[in-house]
Protein backbone atom coordinates (compact mmCIF):
# COMPACT_ATOMS: atom_id res chain seq x y z
CA UNK A 1 0.00 0.00 0.00
CA UNK A 2 2.77 2.42 0.97
CA UNK A 3 4.65 1.69 -2.26
CA UNK A 4 1.51 2.16 -4.32
CA UNK A 5 0.71 5.50 -2.65
CA UNK A 6 4.27 6.82 -3.10
CA UNK A 7 4.47 5.83 -6.76
CA UNK A 8 1.07 7.35 -7.53
CA UNK A 9 2.03 10.67 -5.93
CA UNK A 10 5.24 10.83 -7.99
CA UNK A 11 3.31 9.91 -11.10
CA UNK A 12 0.74 12.62 -10.40
CA UNK A 13 3.48 15.24 -10.20
CA UNK A 14 5.06 14.02 -13.44
CA UNK A 15 1.72 14.02 -15.26
CA UNK A 16 0.76 17.51 -14.08
CA UNK A 17 4.11 18.88 -15.30
CA UNK A 18 3.80 16.92 -18.54
CA UNK A 19 0.19 18.02 -19.05
CA UNK A 20 1.08 21.68 -18.57
CA UNK A 21 4.12 21.48 -20.88
CA UNK A 22 2.30 19.51 -23.58
CA UNK A 23 -1.01 21.36 -23.24
CA UNK A 24 -2.92 18.08 -22.86
CA UNK A 25 -6.14 18.22 -20.83
CA UNK A 26 -6.43 14.44 -21.06
CA UNK A 27 -3.09 14.04 -19.30
CA UNK A 28 -4.05 16.48 -16.56
CA UNK A 29 -7.32 14.56 -16.20
CA UNK A 30 -5.33 11.35 -15.79
CA UNK A 31 -3.05 13.09 -13.27
CA UNK A 32 -6.04 14.22 -11.23
CA UNK A 33 -7.34 10.68 -11.21
CA UNK A 34 -3.91 9.37 -10.16
CA UNK A 35 -3.92 11.77 -7.23
CA UNK A 36 -7.33 10.42 -6.22
CA UNK A 37 -5.78 6.92 -6.43
CA UNK A 38 -3.17 7.82 -3.83
CA UNK A 39 -5.86 9.31 -1.59
CA UNK A 40 -8.14 6.28 -2.08
CA UNK A 41 -5.34 3.88 -1.15
CA UNK A 42 -4.60 5.86 2.03
CA UNK A 43 -8.29 5.86 2.98
CA UNK A 44 -8.61 2.15 2.19
CA UNK A 45 -5.56 1.26 4.30
CA UNK A 46 -6.78 3.33 7.25
CA UNK A 47 -10.29 1.86 7.03
CA UNK A 48 -8.91 -1.68 6.85
CA UNK A 49 -6.92 -1.08 10.04
CA UNK A 50 -9.97 0.35 11.84
CA UNK A 51 -12.20 -2.51 10.62
CA UNK A 52 -9.99 -5.07 12.36
CA UNK A 53 -10.73 -3.67 15.80
CA UNK A 54 -12.85 -5.98 17.98
CA UNK A 55 -16.33 -4.99 19.17
CA UNK A 56 -16.48 -2.83 22.29
CA UNK A 57 -19.03 -0.91 24.34
CA UNK A 58 -19.05 1.94 21.81
CA UNK A 59 -19.32 -0.22 18.67
CA UNK A 60 -21.11 -3.39 19.77
CA UNK A 61 -21.25 -4.74 16.20
CA UNK A 62 -17.54 -4.04 15.70
CA UNK A 63 -15.84 -1.67 13.27
CA UNK A 64 -16.32 -3.64 10.05
CA UNK A 65 -18.37 -0.91 8.40
CA UNK A 66 -15.36 1.40 8.37
CA UNK A 67 -14.44 -0.27 5.09
CA UNK A 68 -17.92 0.37 3.68
CA UNK A 69 -17.70 4.06 4.64
CA UNK A 70 -14.26 4.27 3.00
CA UNK A 71 -15.67 2.70 -0.16
CA UNK A 72 -18.46 5.30 -0.22
CA UNK A 73 -15.91 8.13 0.13
CA UNK A 74 -13.73 6.76 -2.67
CA UNK A 75 -16.61 6.06 -5.05
CA UNK A 76 -18.16 9.48 -4.40
CA UNK A 77 -14.77 11.04 -5.14
CA UNK A 78 -14.66 9.18 -8.43
CA UNK A 79 -18.08 10.55 -9.40
CA UNK A 80 -17.05 14.12 -8.56
CA UNK A 81 -13.84 13.75 -10.59
CA UNK A 82 -15.75 12.29 -13.53
CA UNK A 83 -18.24 15.17 -13.59
CA UNK A 84 -15.43 17.73 -13.33
CA UNK A 85 -13.61 16.16 -16.28
CA UNK A 86 -16.79 16.29 -18.38
CA UNK A 87 -17.07 20.02 -17.60
CA UNK A 88 -13.43 20.72 -18.53
CA UNK A 89 -13.61 18.65 -21.71
CA UNK A 90 -16.69 20.50 -22.97
CA UNK A 91 -14.95 23.84 -22.36
CA UNK A 92 -11.86 22.61 -24.27
CA UNK A 93 -14.04 21.78 -27.31
CA UNK A 94 -14.98 25.45 -27.54
CA UNK A 95 -11.44 26.65 -26.82
CA UNK A 96 -9.00 24.11 -28.37
CA UNK A 97 -5.35 24.28 -27.25
CA UNK A 98 -2.15 23.22 -28.96
CA UNK A 99 -0.96 19.80 -27.72
CA UNK A 100 2.56 18.28 -28.01
CA UNK A 101 1.73 14.72 -29.04
CA UNK A 102 5.07 12.95 -28.52
CA UNK A 103 5.42 14.22 -24.94
CA UNK A 104 1.91 12.98 -24.15
CA UNK A 105 2.78 9.51 -25.49
CA UNK A 106 5.97 9.15 -23.44
CA UNK A 107 4.51 10.23 -20.10
CA UNK A 108 1.26 8.30 -20.60
CA UNK A 109 3.23 5.12 -21.38
CA UNK A 110 5.13 5.42 -18.10
CA UNK A 111 1.83 6.08 -16.31
CA UNK A 112 0.28 2.96 -17.83
CA UNK A 113 3.07 0.73 -16.48
CA UNK A 114 2.71 2.23 -12.98
CA UNK A 115 -1.10 1.99 -13.07
CA UNK A 116 -0.96 -1.70 -13.94
CA UNK A 117 1.63 -2.38 -11.23
CA UNK A 118 -0.49 -0.60 -8.61
CA UNK A 119 -3.60 -2.51 -9.68
CA UNK A 120 -1.68 -5.78 -9.36
CA UNK A 121 -0.74 -4.87 -5.76
CA UNK A 122 -4.40 -4.50 -4.74
CA UNK A 123 -6.04 -7.15 -6.96
CA UNK A 124 -6.03 -10.05 -4.49
CA UNK A 125 -7.46 -8.01 -1.60
CA UNK A 126 -10.12 -6.48 -3.86
CA UNK A 127 -11.85 -9.86 -4.15
CA UNK A 128 -12.88 -9.87 -0.49
CA UNK A 129 -13.26 -6.19 0.39
CA UNK A 130 -15.57 -3.58 -1.13
CA UNK A 131 -13.21 -0.99 0.36
CA UNK A 132 -10.11 -2.30 -1.44
CA UNK A 133 -12.19 -2.98 -4.54
CA UNK A 134 -13.05 0.73 -4.73
CA UNK A 135 -9.33 1.57 -4.61
CA UNK A 136 -8.61 -1.15 -7.18
CA UNK A 137 -11.24 0.34 -9.51
CA UNK A 138 -9.45 3.69 -9.23
CA UNK A 139 -6.31 2.00 -10.58
CA UNK A 140 -8.11 0.16 -13.39
CA UNK A 141 -9.76 3.41 -14.46
CA UNK A 142 -6.32 5.02 -14.46
CA UNK A 143 -4.86 2.29 -16.65
CA UNK A 144 -7.73 2.73 -19.12
CA UNK A 145 -7.19 6.48 -18.97
CA UNK A 146 -3.48 6.10 -19.72
CA UNK A 147 -4.26 3.93 -22.75
CA UNK A 148 -6.70 6.55 -23.97
CA UNK A 149 -4.14 9.33 -23.46
CA UNK A 150 -1.55 7.35 -25.45
CA UNK A 151 -4.07 7.01 -28.29
CA UNK A 152 -4.79 10.74 -28.14
CA UNK A 153 -1.07 11.54 -28.25
CA UNK A 154 -0.56 9.30 -31.30
CA UNK A 155 -3.46 10.89 -33.21
CA UNK A 156 -2.37 14.42 -32.33
CA UNK A 157 1.28 13.71 -33.21
CA UNK A 158 0.40 11.96 -36.49
CA UNK A 159 -2.52 14.05 -37.76
CA UNK A 160 -2.66 17.19 -35.61
CA UNK A 161 -6.20 16.37 -34.40
CA UNK A 162 -6.26 18.50 -31.22
CA UNK A 163 -10.00 17.82 -30.78
CA UNK A 164 -9.07 14.25 -29.85
CA UNK A 165 -7.71 15.47 -26.49
CA UNK A 166 -11.06 16.64 -25.05
CA UNK A 167 -12.83 13.73 -26.76
CA UNK A 168 -10.57 11.23 -24.99
CA UNK A 169 -11.10 13.15 -21.75
CA UNK A 170 -14.86 12.64 -22.15
CA UNK A 171 -14.31 8.91 -22.65
CA UNK A 172 -12.16 8.71 -19.52
CA UNK A 173 -14.79 10.62 -17.54
CA UNK A 174 -17.58 8.39 -18.85
CA UNK A 175 -15.71 5.25 -17.88
CA UNK A 176 -14.97 6.61 -14.39
CA UNK A 177 -18.64 7.53 -13.85
CA UNK A 178 -19.89 4.16 -15.11
CA UNK A 179 -17.54 2.21 -12.84
CA UNK A 180 -18.32 4.25 -9.73
CA UNK A 181 -22.07 4.17 -10.35
CA UNK A 182 -22.09 0.39 -10.76
CA UNK A 183 -20.46 -0.09 -7.32
CA UNK A 184 -21.93 2.68 -5.19
CA UNK A 185 -25.46 1.25 -5.07
CA UNK A 186 -24.35 -1.83 -3.14
CA UNK A 187 -22.35 0.30 -0.69
CA UNK A 188 -25.31 2.60 0.00
CA UNK A 189 -27.55 -0.46 0.46
CA UNK A 190 -25.30 -1.74 3.27
CA UNK A 191 -25.18 1.66 5.01
CA UNK A 192 -28.98 1.94 4.73
CA UNK A 193 -29.36 -1.45 6.49
CA UNK A 194 -30.83 -3.00 3.35
CA UNK A 195 -31.37 -6.73 2.96
CA UNK A 196 -28.73 -8.56 0.90
CA UNK A 197 -29.57 -8.62 -2.83
CA UNK A 198 -28.97 -12.37 -2.87
CA UNK A 199 -31.47 -13.05 -0.05
CA UNK A 200 -35.23 -12.51 -0.30
CA UNK A 201 -36.64 -11.82 3.20
CA UNK A 202 -39.77 -13.87 2.49
CA UNK A 203 -37.64 -16.85 1.51
CA UNK A 204 -35.71 -16.61 4.78
CA UNK A 205 -38.90 -16.40 6.84
CA UNK A 206 -40.43 -19.32 4.94
CA UNK A 207 -37.40 -21.46 5.83
CA UNK A 208 -37.94 -20.72 9.52
CA UNK A 209 -41.69 -21.30 9.33
CA UNK A 210 -41.18 -24.69 7.73
CA UNK A 211 -39.76 -25.99 11.03
CA UNK A 212 -42.27 -28.03 13.03
CA UNK A 213 -43.62 -26.09 16.01
CA UNK A 214 -43.26 -22.63 14.41
CA UNK A 215 -46.62 -20.88 13.92
CA UNK A 216 -45.13 -17.84 12.18
CA UNK A 217 -42.68 -14.95 12.29
CA UNK A 218 -43.23 -11.20 12.40
CA UNK A 219 -41.41 -7.97 13.25
CA UNK A 220 -38.55 -9.31 11.08
CA UNK A 221 -35.42 -7.36 10.18
CA UNK A 222 -32.89 -8.75 7.70
CA UNK A 223 -29.85 -6.56 7.04
CA UNK A 224 -26.21 -6.56 6.03
CA UNK A 225 -23.90 -5.84 8.94
CA UNK A 226 -21.02 -5.45 6.50
CA UNK A 227 -19.99 -6.83 3.12
CA UNK A 228 -19.77 -10.43 4.36
CA UNK A 229 -22.13 -10.74 7.35
CA UNK A 230 -25.94 -10.70 7.36
CA UNK A 231 -28.13 -10.55 10.46
CA UNK A 232 -31.74 -11.55 11.14
CA UNK A 233 -33.88 -10.39 14.03
CA UNK A 234 -37.52 -11.46 14.41
CA UNK A 235 -40.34 -12.45 16.74
CA UNK A 236 -41.12 -16.17 16.41
CA UNK A 237 -44.49 -17.57 17.45
CA UNK A 238 -44.47 -21.09 18.95
CA UNK A 239 -47.50 -23.27 18.19
CA UNK A 240 -49.98 -24.08 20.92
CA UNK A 241 -48.79 -27.05 22.95
CA UNK A 242 -45.19 -26.78 21.74
CA UNK A 243 -43.89 -24.24 24.27
CA UNK A 244 -42.12 -26.99 26.22
CA UNK A 245 -39.92 -27.53 23.13
CA UNK A 246 -39.39 -23.82 22.43
CA UNK A 247 -35.63 -23.84 22.97
CA UNK A 248 -35.18 -26.91 20.78
CA UNK A 249 -37.36 -25.35 18.07
CA UNK A 250 -35.28 -22.17 18.19
CA UNK A 251 -32.03 -24.07 17.80
CA UNK A 252 -33.50 -26.04 14.88
CA UNK A 253 -34.60 -22.82 13.16
CA UNK A 254 -31.14 -21.30 13.57
CA UNK A 255 -29.50 -24.44 12.17
CA UNK A 256 -31.83 -24.44 9.15
CA UNK A 257 -31.22 -20.75 8.47
CA UNK A 258 -27.46 -21.25 8.56
CA UNK A 259 -27.67 -24.29 6.29
CA UNK A 260 -30.08 -22.78 3.77
CA UNK A 261 -29.01 -19.11 3.75
CA UNK A 262 -25.65 -18.89 5.53
CA UNK A 263 -27.12 -16.83 8.38
CA UNK A 264 -25.05 -17.10 11.56
CA UNK A 265 -26.16 -13.94 13.38
CA UNK A 266 -29.82 -14.69 14.23
CA UNK A 267 -31.76 -13.23 17.16
CA UNK A 268 -35.25 -14.67 17.81
CA UNK A 269 -37.69 -13.40 20.41
CA UNK A 270 -40.10 -16.24 21.14
CA UNK A 271 -43.82 -15.78 21.75
CA UNK A 272 -46.42 -18.37 22.69
CA UNK A 273 -49.48 -18.62 20.45
CA UNK A 274 -51.73 -17.35 23.25
CA UNK A 275 -49.81 -14.09 23.67
CA UNK A 276 -48.88 -12.96 20.17
CA UNK A 277 -48.01 -9.30 19.50
CA UNK A 278 -50.93 -7.39 18.04
CA UNK A 279 -50.84 -4.81 15.27
CA UNK A 280 -47.32 -5.61 14.04
CA UNK A 281 -46.03 -6.02 10.50
CA UNK A 282 -44.49 -9.17 9.15
CA UNK A 283 -41.36 -7.26 8.10
CA UNK A 284 -40.12 -4.24 10.02
CA UNK A 285 -41.99 -2.25 12.67
Domain ranges across the chain? 2-191, 201-275
* pLDDT, position 211: 95
pLDDT tens per residue across span 110-127: 878 877 877 777 777 777
**For residues 17 and 283, which has the higher predicted lDDT (pLDDT)?**
283
* pLDDT, position 188: 92
* pLDDT, position 207: 96
Lowest mean pLDDT among 14-28, 192-206, 218-232, 267-281: 14-28
* pLDDT, position 189: 92
* pLDDT, position 21: 79
pLDDT tens per residue across span 131-150: 677 777 767 777 777 787 78
* pLDDT, position 142: 73
Record: fold of 2-191:
Alpha-lytic protease prodomain-like (1.20.1510)
**What is the residue-averaged pLDDT of the chain?**
84
Nearby residues of 88 by Cβ (< 8 Å), 6 or more positions away: 25, 29, 166, 169
Domain 201-275 sits in which CATH superfamily?
Cation efflux protein, cytoplasmic domain (3.30.70.1350)
Q: Using pLDDT thresholds of 50, 70 and 90, give the confidence band for residue 60.
A: confident
- Does 197 have pLDDT greater than 80? yes
* pLDDT, position 17: 81
* pLDDT, position 123: 77
* pLDDT, position 85: 81
**For residues 210 and 65, which has the higher predicted lDDT (pLDDT)?**
210
Neighbours of 265 (CB within 10 A): 14
pLDDT tens per residue across span 67-109: 888 889 888 888 888 888 888 788 878 877 677 777 777 877 8
Amino acid sequence: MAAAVGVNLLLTLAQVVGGVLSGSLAMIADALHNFSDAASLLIAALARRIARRPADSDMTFGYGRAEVVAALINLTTLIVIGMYLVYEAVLRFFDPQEVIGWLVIVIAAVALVIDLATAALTYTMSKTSVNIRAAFLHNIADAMGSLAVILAGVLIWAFGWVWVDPAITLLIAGYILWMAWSEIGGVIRILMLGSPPRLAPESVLATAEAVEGVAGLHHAHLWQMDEHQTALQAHMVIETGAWGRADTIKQTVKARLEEAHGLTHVTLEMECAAHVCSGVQRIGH
